[in-house]
């Protein structure tokens, strides 16, 4: 497929922007202070893990990270420090803690950089990144997680977010939806992430409740371009035969990541999924691009190394304006 690219002049140089938009959801297992190497004493192995996480994140125009732990955003701040970031265009940093600049770390394998560049929608890019995050969920509980969107500001524009109410009692970690606009293609789309609670009879209820999230999106958004994605725990013991029999998706939606996908490092289960509206599939989903990203193979990692990064692969899909 021939990629259509446009040149955009920006302060400080020339920036390359591409028509394809690559989006993903990734459960970065227990992503908190320890994995971000923010506990004393610093650990070189964990510094390498954080670099690998950043390498994967740079593949995407938008990625929603799940299982972000901690009362504050120090782990995300550490990750953002390894991504290109234009401070003048971003919100003020919430913390004053100094994070080592990525130039201090030397790549172990030049192949990592080469592979990452090839996956930038076929183009190299000097894009900068920003992020938007939910509050810790569920509120008032000892164990909490956040949903965090990290997005490339040259290719997508953040338009708004919506937190599905906890008071509806349908989810342990209610979806935190966000709306973006593809800059060069001028179409908007909504991402609705879910990290479902695992358990037979529990997981299926949360997946089925996604229909209510779609139905309660802000009216002002007025879009049929909707992706539902994340660690649905939609496989293995968490989704029994009886659960599958009563599993339903929101109206006019289809699975893009299906039952035969392998989305985890250590098992063959398709826990992580992407679902899209029929309209989104017809007008914006690039055929045959919805799949897990096997960073173990792509980054030449051992099983042990990959598992330290996360027990889940990202699930991704490419978008464009088809007509």
> Would residue 101 show up in a list of annotated catalytic residues for this protein?
no
Residue 21: pLDDT over 90: yes
50 CB-near residues (< 8 Å, 6+ apart): 35, 36, 37, 78, 79, 82
Catalytic residue among 67, 131, 133, 145: 145
Kindly state whether residue 161 falls inside one of the protein's structural domains: yes
Please give the full DSSP string across 123-172, using - where no structure is assigned: S-----EEEEEPPPBSTT-SS-BEEEEEEETTTEEEEEEEEPPGGG-S-S
Catalytic residue among 67, 185, 195, 312: 195
Angle between helices 44-57 and 110-118 (to 10 degrees): 20
Kindly state whether residue 4 falls inside one of the protein's structural domains: no
Kindly state whether residue 294 falls inside one of the protein's structural domains: yes
Name which residue leads in pLDDT, 288 or 116. Answer: 288
Q: What's the pLDDT tens digit per position in 256-268?
A: 999 999 999 999 9
Identify the pLDDT of residue 84: 84
Q: What's the pLDDT tens digit per position in 101-126?
A: 333 333 333 333 334 444 444 444 45
Identify the pLDDT of residue 11: 35
Q: What's the pLDDT tens digit per position in 137-148?
A: 999 899 999 999
Kindly state whether residue 111 falls inside one of the protein's structural domains: yes
Expressed as residue numbers, the domain containing 274 is 22-319
Residue 52: pLDDT over 50: yes
Kindly state whether residue 266 falls inside one of the protein's structural domains: yes
Q: What's the pLDDT tens digit per position in 221-237?
A: 999 999 999 999 999 99
pLDDT bin (cut points 50, 70, 90) of residue 216 is: very high
> Would residue 195 show up in a list of annotated catalytic residues for this protein?
yes
Considering Cα of 242, then 244, then 245, then 251, what sign does the dihedral take? positive
**∠ Cα 276 138 224 (to 5°):** 20
Mean pLDDT value across the chain: 85
CATH of the domain at 82: 3.60.10.10
What is each CA distance from 89 to 62, 76, 282, in whole angstroms?
Answer: 17, 17, 34
Kindly state whether residue 61 falls inside one of the protein's structural domains: yes
Kindly state whether residue 1 falls inside one of the protein's structural domains: no
Instruction: Give how many domains the chain has, as a whole number.
Output: 1
Identify the pLDDT of residue 322: 87
Residue 295: pLDDT over 60: yes
Kindly state whether residue 3 falls inside one of the protein's structural domains: no
Predicted model pTM: 0.84
Please give the full DSSP string across 257-312, using - where no structure is assigned: S-TT---BSSS----EEEEEEHHHHHHTBPTT--EE--HHHHTT--HHHHHHH-SB
* Nearest by Cα to 265 from 228, 229, 297, 230: 297
CA distance 200 to 64: 25
* Nearest by Cα to 119 from 281, 299, 309: 299
Identify the pLDDT of residue 122: 42
Q: What's the pLDDT tens digit per position in 81-105?
A: 999 865 444 443 333 333 333 333 3
Rounded to 5 degrees, φ, ψ at 121 are: 55, 30
């Amino acid at each position: 497929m021939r990629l259509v690219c446009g040149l955009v002049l920006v302060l400080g140089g020339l920036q390359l922007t591409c028509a394809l938009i690559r989006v993903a959801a990734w459960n970065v297992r227990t992503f908190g202070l320890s994995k971000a190497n923010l506990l004393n004493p610093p650990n070189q192995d964990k510094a390498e893990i954080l670099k690998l996480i950043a390498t994967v994140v740079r593949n995407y125009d938008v990625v929603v990270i799940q299982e972000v732990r901690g009362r504050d955003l120090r782990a995300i701040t550490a990750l953002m420090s390894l991504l290109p970031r234009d401070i003048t265009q971003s919100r003020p940093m919430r913390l004053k803690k100094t994070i080592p600049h990525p130039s201090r770390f030397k790549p172990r394998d030049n192949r990592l950089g080469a592979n990452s560049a090839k996956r930038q929608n076929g183009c190299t890019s000097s894009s900068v990144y920003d992020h938007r995050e939910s509050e810790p969920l569920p509120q008032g509980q000892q164990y909490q997680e956040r949903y965090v969107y990290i997005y490339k500001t040259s290719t997508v524009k953040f338009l708004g977010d919506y937190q599905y109410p906890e008071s509806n009692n349908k989810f342990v970690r209610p979806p935190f939806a966000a709306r973006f606009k593809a800059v060069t293609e001028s179409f908007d789309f909504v991402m609705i992430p879910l990290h479902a609670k695992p358990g037979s009879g529990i997981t299926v209820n949360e997946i089925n409740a996604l229909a209510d999230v779609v139905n309660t999106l802000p009216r002002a958004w007025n879009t049929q371009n909707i992706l539902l994605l994340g660690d649905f725990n939609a496989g293995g013991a968490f989704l029994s035969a009886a659960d599958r029999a009563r599993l339903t998706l929101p109206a006019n939606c289809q699975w893009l990541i299906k039952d035969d996908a392998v989305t985890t490092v250590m098992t063959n289960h398709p826990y992580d999924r992407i679902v899209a509206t029929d309209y989104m599939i017809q007008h914006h989903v690039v055929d045959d691009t919805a799949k897990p990203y096997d960073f173990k193979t792509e980054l030449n990692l051992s099983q042990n190394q990959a598992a330290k990064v996360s027990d889940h692969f990202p699930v991704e899909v490419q978008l464009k304006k088809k007509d």
